Structure 1
Amino acid sequence: MTDTARTVLAGLDAARGELEDLYQDLHRHPELGLREHRTAKKAADALRESGYDVTEDVGGTGVIGVLTSGDGPVVMARADMDALPVRERTGLPYASAEKVTDEDGQEQPVMHACGHDVHVTCLIGCARLMAEHRDVWRGTFVVLFQPSEENGDGADAMIDDGLTDKSPRPDVVLAQHVLPYPAGYVGTRAGSFLSAADSLRITVHGRGAHGSMPQASVDPVLIAASIVVRLQTIVSRELAATTPAVVTVGSIHAGSGPNVIPDRAVLEINVRTYDDATRTQVLGAVKRIVKAECEASRSPKEPEFERLSSFPPTVNDDEPTRRVADAFSAYFGDDAHTVELQTASEDMSEIPKAFGVPFTYWAIGGIDPERYAEAVRNGTVAQDIPVNHSATFAPVQQPTLGTGVSALTVAALAWLGN
């Protein structure tokens, strides 16, 4: 298989300039979830040029490309396309200046702060190289460009729009994500890899009053403050030290002035867990604590709970992960690693679940290797290395793009190679 991969990837050097141009164009023109019309068209056009049968507008803006080379396994590779409402501060010459109008009529800056532009570029590059060398592999290669991963609804949108009828049923689904590791790095992990994520909006009710007469109020700001502190005891006091989980209060809104006690407070929280039992336990503890704090403060109404989004855990299947890890080890050598457990979340696993097939999902690095090594030497990785969703997150183009194209190709050929 390694020889087959080297044959397919022999044209990568010649394609680097074109791939870098594509990446810069995508980075300069990011699009939010379910609005990825420009990105989807670029993907669809590139696939058609390479001879793929293309289906567009799946789940809104999703794209499916199918290329067959004789009888054999069916392999699906997926990339997400959407960006984030973040104002870019990378200083890159191809930085985004895009803005969109939100539902409230407000302008929002948009940035590829999570690296989905890398994912799209790498999958297009892989698709082209696989098309150029159909003589050395057998089977069917399916490429899928998914919308709205950041909102957690893009995979479901494609599934609800008939994905399983519009695509051949794969034997395995493959995907990757650029993370803040050194560029050139590839990392696999069997079993739990990414966490489940549940975001909630919680409204607690009080009784408003003048700031000078707190005895006439039930202060929802105080209730919210007590909830914030108490929620942090879930992980530290209700879970075993060996059970990973995160509870974050990311937003609190209450009141309109310093001398007015409001009648409500709104908290938005995010919960990350890795298995169903822990997920149920932590979410149950959140509800219990919120209700108890409201009752203890004589809240006049029951708190309200609204689920904003929910991501499944990403749990890699053992056999395809082992197969990809072996292929990476043979091709990348010392650059192939076992990646550590991640607290980020994804909706990609809904796609193989819909087909009832196994999957594996891996990491590639995107940080300048010298910069990363210096941060390691200084013990300042957390301070000096931008992470995904940061306004300064900027994967270096090379070897990030080359590694991403190579990883997808090597993984696909672990099934399709002669």
Structure 2
Amino acid sequence: MTSAAARIALDLTADLPVSGLEDFYRDLHRHPELSGEEHRTAGKLVERFAEAGFDTLEGIGGTGVAGVLRNGDGPTVLLRADMDALPVPEETGLSYASSVDGVMHACGHDMHVTWLAGAAGALAAGRDAWSGTLVLVGQPAEETGVGAAAMVADGLYERVPRPDVLLGQHVAPGPAGFYPHSPGLIMSATTDIDIVIHGRGGHGSRPETTVDPVVTAAYLVTRLQTVVSREIAARDSAVLTVGRIEAGTRHNIIPTTARLSLNLRTQSPDVRDRMLAAIRRIATGECLAAGCPSEPEITFGNDFPITVNDADTDRRVAAVHTEVLGAGTVFDPGPAMGSEDFPHLVPDGVPYSYWFVTSTSADVWDAAPGTDLMEKFHAVPSNHSPQFAPDLVTVAPGVRTLVSGALAFLTG
């Protein structure tokens, strides 16, 4: 027996303006904006809110926007989309590729904005079928991990009604047409770490008069690879990546400093704390062993929390997604090592559900090397790749997931 939420969702999304939404998406994709600079994107989204009849707010936490639609008694449901692009040169070859040099929507946030705009129109047009309050949020600066917290700090919940539940979703690689849910931990925590190694510079012909920070950095990179393999239990998950090394200016100059940028991903506070302690210990030890004139500078930067769905809330949303999108389209993939700042948007004690929408076109998926699902999954372009390009067939389903998820709470 189909639930009321599913029946209403199918009705409200039966005649989506798909062509118009695809054009909206193409326009956003052509005009990507970096974190904190999403002025045009925010303006386009708030226009859609206003056209649908929402009360609109702008400039929250920088470029954040919100729309509010009060529709009688009932719960307050918040739907969120992030808006920022990445400093990645596009290599998709699309006819609507980025027109901004060195910047593209490599993570699919343009699709998120499109889905939210479509959901705003569908839910507003069908307001006779549900009761409660809708809050729609266009969030800046997710990629830098500061946007959600900035909106809250700027009084988001003094300007819009405090939600009873929050819902969010993310485009992902995988054959288009699936909607992965995990009723618990779904995304990992991330911490960025910068290390400066201080050596003693000099001429490349006289290394005996120097303390070479490049050699120390090389030892440090190698030794850091043992943290996960030898200090973290096999049952725990962690990833430590050295994403950048910078040192020197000329072939024959031993530099004074070397800089490393690390990214740590963990799925529990205990593992994170142990990893950070190990990084500090190893960096200090390698510098001591090399005879560096001072201890390394270790700075902790952007920090994303773990994303943990409320189990009951997520099962409720997953159930209506199954009804609306078909049996077998919803499954539990387990937690991902990717990270989100979505939890920073969540008031204390308020439940939320966060899920994925797979988006790889059939042509790209079928052409990917490999014979099984995981081989192909690792072969197709993923988020942050210069070739990442969600298939436009995901526009309508992504609207339906938001609409049906909201109606799971707004239809009683």
Q: Do Structure 1 and Structure 2 share a fold, with TM-score over 0.5?
A: yes
Contact kept? 2:173, 2:377, Cα under 8 Å: no
For 1:3, the equivalent position in structure 2 comes to 7
**Mean Cα deviation higher: 215-224 or 337-346:** 337-346
1:236 is matched with 229
> Does 2:206 match 1:204?
no
Instruction: Map 1:99-178; keep pairs closer than 5 Å.
Output: 99=101, 109-178=102-171
Is 2:286 the counterpart of 1:282?
no
Q: Deviations over 1:240-286 (max 9, x none)?
A: 11211000001011111222211111000000001110110111110
Local SS of the residue matching 2:90: coil
Q: Deviations over 1:23-78 (max 9, x none)?
A: 00000011111111111111111111111011111011111101122100110000
Check if 1:226 corresponds to 2:226: no
Aligned-partner Cα distance in 1 for 2:71–2:293: 67
Structure 1, unmatched stretches of 5+, are: 100-108
Q: CA deviation at 1:383?
A: 5.8
How far off is 1:403 after superposition? 1.3
Contact 2:174 2:377 in 1 (8 A): no
- Displacement of 1:305 in angstroms is 1.3
Verify the 8 A CA contact 1:206 1:263 in the aligned structure 2.
yes
1:391 paired residue number: 386
| Residues 339 and 363 in structure 1, CA contact (< 8 A), matched pair in contact too | no
**CA deviation map 1:303-348 (0-9, x unaligned):** 1012231111111111111111111122222212213321111101
Q: Summarize the Cα distance change of 1:227–1:382 in structure 2 as closer, same or farther, 3 Å threshold.
A: farther
Report if the CA contact (8 A) 1:164-1:355 is conserved: no
- Structure 1 position 35 matched with structure 2 position 37: yes
Partner-residue secondary structure (3-state), 1:338: coil
Is contact 2:188–2:265 with CA below 8 Å preserved after alignment? Answer: yes
Distance change in 2, residues 1:258/1:394 (3 Å): same
1:173–1:358 Cα contact (<8 Å) kept: yes
Q: Residue 164 of structure 2 contacts residue 350 of structure 2 at CA under 8 Å; is this kept in 1?
A: yes
Give the match's secondary structure for 1:207. coil
Match of residue 46 from structure 1: 48
* Cα deviation 1:146-196 (Å, max 9, x = unaligned): 000001110111011101111101110000000001111111102111111
Give the corresponding residue for 1:319: 312
Q: Once the two structures are aligned, what percentage of the paired residues are identical? A: 47
Structure 2 distance, partners of 1:211, 1:87, is 36
| Corresponding residue of 2:301 | 308
Which residue identity does 1:152 align to in structure 2? G
Equivalent position to 1:60, from 51, 62, 73 = 62
RMSD: 1.3
The Cα shift of 1:369 comes to: 2.9
Q: Which amino acid aligns with 1:341?
A: P
CA contact (8 A) 1:170 1:355 kept: no
For residue 401 of structure 1, what is the amino acid of its counterpart?
V
Matched with 2:342 is 348
Which amino acid is the alignment partner of residue 339 of structure 1?
Answer: P
1:114 aligned partner, one-letter code: C
Shift, 1:356, TM fit? 3.6
Q: What secondary structure, in the 3-state scheme, does the structure 1 residue paired with 2:300 have?
A: strand
Which residue does the alignment assign to 1:250? 243
Q: Distance in 1 between matches of 2:255 and 2:202?
A: 7
Aligned-partner Cα distance in 1 for 2:85–2:277: 32
Partner of 1:71: 73
Instruction: Give the CA deviation at 1:11.
Output: 2.1
Aligned mates of 2:49, 2:202 — CA distance in 1 = 63
Amino acid at match of 1:394: A
Note the alpha carbon deviations across 1:348-391, whole angstroms, 9 max, x for none. 11111x35411110000110134324537535425640010111
CA deviation profile, 1:75-95 (whole Å, cap 9, x unmatched): 000000000111111000000
Letter in 2 for 1:288: R
Is it true that 1:339 corresponds to 2:333 in the alignment? yes
Determine if contact 2:200/2:256 at 8 Å carries over to the other structure: yes
Aligned-partner SS, 1:342 = coil
1:374–1:392 CA distance, 2 compared to 1 (3 A)? closer
Gaps of at least 5 residues in structure 2 are: none
Q: 2:321 aligns with which of 322, 328, 338?
A: 328
Q: Which stretch shifts more, 123-132 or 361-370?
A: 361-370
